[in-house]
Amino acid sequence: MPHSPELAFLGNFLDRCANHRTDEDWLGRLLERPTTRHIHMNGDKTVIIDEKLQTFPHANSPERVLLGIDGNGSGWFASSTESQENLMDLRSLAVAGLLPQGELAILAQARSLLHWHERHGFCANCGAQTEMRDAGYRRHCKTCATDHFPRTDPVIIIAVRHGNRMLLGRQNSWPEGMYSTLAGFMEPGETIEEAARREVFEEAGVRVGDIRFHSNQPWPFPSSLMIGLIGEALTDDIVIDPKELETARWFDKVEVQSMLGGTHVQGLKAPLPLAIAHHLIRACLQSS
């Protein structure tokens, strides 16, 4: 039976064992445990059979990353595979609600780590080949002794309101009729609030005043942290940047409610509950 739809990629139940990652003897013993589980991933896809996550007794490649240890003391690892059989991607898994939230969150961790390793095989400092260390949480360059560490990109995502209206926009690559909150990557030297105000003004020409934090969500496409905010608009004239948005406009409360409920007369839609944007929009309605 599918699990109820909710904000995806939260609830990772593993102990990530940061204090043990450099201990090769400890890692070796963990790998030898008969209960140790290995997830195989091909890009953002993993093996699903009979609507269940499949794990394996061994890694599928020499480079495997430690995800952590569960409450039963079983180790969880992830490695890349070229297999094309019985695969399902993370977005589809989240939409379908096939897996428990904790397993979906573990897959997000695995996807982000493996993607980073696939793209950091060579040193950004000298160009020499790097090697995995610390069970997947560091790559080391033996040539220049530089260490490289996995990164998460912070992204602000903000529901902006002006009175009883909400600012929503869409990109032309999105599903037909889909409108969502505005979002963008933080830039060096910015606070969260500064990044949010800059992004909204750049994309839609609207000035934002007060901002409050609502929630956050790991987003493994490939490795972002969505920082969910609610902001109060100081202006309501919209001037979109066509490189960022196809369109944007103000929606009144009734129209947004119909979009969330799937009853909009023109077929306009809000994001699904798996995405933080859905919850920001809902929170905006409830507090307006």
Domains, in order of start, for the chain: 18-119 (3.90.79), 153-287 (3.90.79.10)
Instruction: Give the 3-state secondary structure of residue 280.
Output: helix
pLDDT for residue 221 is more than 90: yes
CA end-to-end distance (rounded Å), the chain: 36
137: tokens are 């949480």
Give the pLDDT score at 59.
95
Query: CA angle, corner 249, sides to 163 and 261, nearest 5?
Result: 80
Instruction: Give the 3-state secondary structure of residue 1.
Output: coil
Give the pLDDT score at 160.
98
Q: Is 271 exposed, middle or buried (0-12, 13-18, 19+ CB in 10 A)?
A: buried
Average pLDDT score, the chain: 96
114: tokens are 């493996």
Q: What is the pTM of this model?
A: 0.94
- 100-110 average pLDDT score: 97
pLDDT for residue 3 is more than 80: no
% pLDDT > 70, the chain:
98
Query: CA angle, corner 276, sides to 202 and 42, nearest 5?
Result: 100
pLDDT for residue 54 is more than 80: yes
- 278-285 average pLDDT score: 95
Count of alpha carbons within 13 Å of 86, Cβ hemisphere only?
Answer: 10
The per-residue pLDDT for range 59-92, each reduced to its tens digit, is: 988 899 999 999 999 999 999 999 999 999 999 9
Instruction: Give the 3-state secondary structure of residue 112.
Output: helix
